[in-house]
Each structure stands twice: as structure tokens, then as C-alpha cells.
């Protein structure tokens, strides 16, 4: 771990900072996710992707992960809901080791959205109903409409086929489909990098709305430093598999790690 900004459990200064940023008050907030000394080594090559990453993600906060290409951002994000299986005792949801949860229910609690939406064959409504159906729940037309509205789509989309949609519309449907599972945490892996500005804004607005209305915890990986500054409460800067800086969005220019400075200058 570099000395710039430690993220270890004992770092009172960081916790203080995070609590203030998220709430605007000095109120104690519980960590929703805790990552403890997460290291990921690829076998058999021995390539190290993540190295002793320790962070706390507070309930109801929006956390941004930025860093150069190949620094391990997606791997970190995927480890949080076992799309990439982390070692045991390294990732905790509400203080419970995620390995102690059934993987499907974990992924319902921790939903994920990728760079390019992949809709299932069928209508938009079929896609949105898919997750709840797996647990025996059939969403009503009204519930589908509400989920569409949450992702800034009107009810006329419900009967459209996935292949009639633009990428931006499909991404909003993918978001509504993820939200249909009523997740507690949303993982977003460069969710708007393939989208036009209007769809990008719709996704950003939805993320901010969900924070207010549902106190949803969100972790977003983005190459857009501006996007990160627009929506997140706290930024983790990942370089070569290590968190090298923890920064407030309005203080990004204060990054001191040389790689971090270079990355920010070039972004
Ligand atoms: N399954 C895999 N097999 C081999 N190498 C992998 C695998 N997954 C990731 N890597 C390597 O691990 C490193 C980190 O990858 P990761 O996708 O997490 O980085 P990233 O920061 O998200 O990159 P980008 O910004 O380009 O998406 C890269 O060098 C990548 O090539």
C-alpha cells in the first residue's frame, strides 16, 4: 500500500472524510461492502491483477473507480458479486462473507450493468420480468411501467423487441431489468461509454435518483473523469492493482501519486 492515502480499516482520517462527504453531516454510516486485502493472482501465469486492496463502501454512497487501462478496475468490480470469484474472507456484504451467500441471490442483491447491454430475446417487458420470474414473482404491467420510468423510458417501450432499440435505449432497459430485482447495490462497468449524451444523462440521473429515493449503494467504473465528478461521493484511484489515492470529486487535482497525476492530466 502506498503512503498517499491509506485505506486500511484503522484509517480514521479516511473514514471521517467519507462519512462527511456522503452525508454532509458527521453521522455514522455503515459499510455496505467491505473489501479486505483482496489480492488476485492469475494461475498458472502468476500475474497479479489486484494487490491487497482494502476499502469500505458506505451504504447509500456512490463510489467511483478510476485508473489507467488494465489497472484492475473491472476485476475489482466483478469480485464484488462473484462475476470474478475473489478468495474467501476478502469481500463482505453487510459484514457477511459473500461466499456464504447463494451466488444467485448475491447477484440479485448486487446487480451489475456492463458497457454494452445484452438483452435477452423477446420484448422489453419480457426482459424486465425475467429476474423476478426466477423467484416466482410476475411483475404487473404497472410495475413494468414504473421500472421503465425509473430508467427514463415511457411505457410504449414495454412491447418493443430488444432488437428495435438503440444502444442507449437498450442500456436503459438493461438498467430497468437490473432494478427489477430490487438490488441493494448497483455495479456499473463503464455503463455509458457506448452511449449518446442524452442516454448518458438519463443513466446518470437514474443513479442519482436511486441514491435519494432508495438509498442505493453504487460502485461505478468510468473512464470519464467528468462523469465521475458529476455523480460520485468518493473516488478510488486504482493503479497497477493498488488503490493509490482516495479523493473527493472536487479535489481530484490534488492527487499526488505520479501515475495518478499523469492519468488525470491525460484524461
Ligand atoms: N481472465 C483473464 N485472463 C488473463 N488476464 C486477465 C484476465 N482478466 C483480466 N486480465 C488482465 O488483468 C489486468 C486487469 O484487467 P481489468 O479488465 O480488470 O482492468 P481494467 O482496469 O478494467 O482495464 P480497462 O480500463 O482497459 O477495462 C489486465 O492486464 C488484463 O489483461
Taking CA atoms only, the protein residue closest to ligand 1 atom 30 is: 70
How confident is the model over 93-119, as pLDDT tens digits? 999 999 999 999 999 999 999 999 999
Would the pLDDT of 6 be above 70?
Answer: no
What value of ipTM does the predicted structure carry? 0.93
Q: DSSP of 102-127, one letter per residue?
A: -HHHHHHHEEEE-SS--PPSSBHHHH
Residue 256: pLDDT band (50, 70, 90) is: confident
Helix ranges restricted to H, 135-196 = 141-150, 167-179
Question: How many beta carbons lie within 10 A of that of residue 95, not counting itself?
Answer: 10
Q: What percent of the chain has pLDDT over 90?
A: 73
Pocket-forming residues, ligand 1, beta carbon under 6 Å: 42, 49, 67, 69-75
Helix ranges restricted to H, 38-102 = 73-79
How confident is the model over 153-187, as pLDDT tens digits? 999 999 999 999 999 999 999 999 999 999 999 99
According to the model, what pLDDT value does residue 29 have? Answer: 77
CA 82 / ligand 1 centre spacing (Å): 15
Amino acid at each position: 500500500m502506498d503512503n498517499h492515502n491509506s485505506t486500511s480499516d484503522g484509517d480514521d482520517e479516511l473514514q471521517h472524510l467519507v462519512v462527511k462527504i456522503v452525508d454532509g453531516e458527521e453521522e455514522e454510516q455503515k459499510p455496505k461492502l467491505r473489501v479486505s486485502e483482496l489480492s488476485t493472482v492469475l494461475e498458472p501465469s502468476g500475474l497479479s491483477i489486484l494487490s491487497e486492496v482494502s476499502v469500505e463502501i458506505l451504504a447509500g454512497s456512490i463510489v467511483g473507480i478510476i485508473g489507467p487501462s488494465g489497472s484492475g478496475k473491472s476485476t475489482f468490480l466483478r469480485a464484488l458479486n462473484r462475476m470474478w470469484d475473489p478468495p474467501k474472507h476478502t469481500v463482505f456484504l453487510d459484514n457477511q462473507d459473500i461466499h456464504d451467500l447463494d451466488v444467485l441471490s448475491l447477484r440479485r442483491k448486487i446487480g451489475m450493468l456492463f458497457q454494452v447491454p445484452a438483452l435477452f430475446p423477446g420484448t422489453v417487458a419480457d426482459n424486465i420480468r425475467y429476474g423476478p420470474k426466477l423467484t416466482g414473482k410476475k411483475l404487473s404491467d404497472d410495475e413494468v411501467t414504473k421500472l421503465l420510468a425509473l430508467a427514463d423510458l415511457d411505457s410504449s417501450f414495454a412491447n418493443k423487441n430488444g432488437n428495435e432499440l438503440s444502444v442507449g435505449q437498450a442500456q436503459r432497459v438493461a438498467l430497468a431489468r437490473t432494478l427489477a430485482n430490487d438490488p441493494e447495490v448497483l455495479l456499473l462497468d463503464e455503463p455509458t461509454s457506448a452511449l449518446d449524451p442524452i442516454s448518458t444523462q438519463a443513466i446518470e440521473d437514474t443513479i442519482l435518483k436511486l441514491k435519494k429515493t432508495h438509498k442505493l449503494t453504487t460502485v461505478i467504473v468510468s473512464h470519464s473523469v467528468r462523469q465521475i465528478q458529476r455523480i460520485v461521493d468518493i473516488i478510488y484511484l486504482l493503479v497497477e492493482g493498488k488503490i493509490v489515492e482516495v479523493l473527493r470529486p472536487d479535489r481530484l487535482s490534488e492527487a499526488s501519486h505520479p501515475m495518478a497525476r499523469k492519468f488525470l492530466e491525460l484524461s
